[in-house]
Amino acid sequence: MSVITGLTRGGAAWTPAFITALRQATCIGCGRCYKVCPRDVFELVDRDDLDLDVDIDDDDDDDDGFSDDTSMVMSLKNAMDCIGCEACSRVCPKKCLSHEPLPAAA
């Protein structure tokens, strides 16, 4: 099965990797993915409105300079609008996002 591919401006083949998941349990709600996304894929929501099955660890022991005690978290608003650029993953300090190439329509 072939995956969706495209060409860069220079003619090189490129395979986009589209967003497949956002791990809200590790998200700190910093908004970096929202700010860098060229499409309307993300939205900030109240963590208390979510039904997360894991405990949020409030200790900031990974020394990334971010506090984990935020009450807001990112959510996928419109994953079908993702263009597969992966800019959101490159700026996420907690590595909350997963991407993968998708099959081409037959």
Where do the domains of the chain lie?
A: 6-54+65-100
pTM (two decimals)? 0.77
- Identify the pLDDT of residue 64: 56
> Residue 89 carries which DSSP code?
H
Segment 47-82, tens digit of pLDDT: 887 776 545 444 455 555 555 556 899 999 999 999
Task: Provide CATH code, domain 6-54+65-100.
Answer: 3.30.70.20
The mean per-residue pLDDT over the stretch 26-40 comes to: 95
- Identify the pLDDT of residue 1: 73
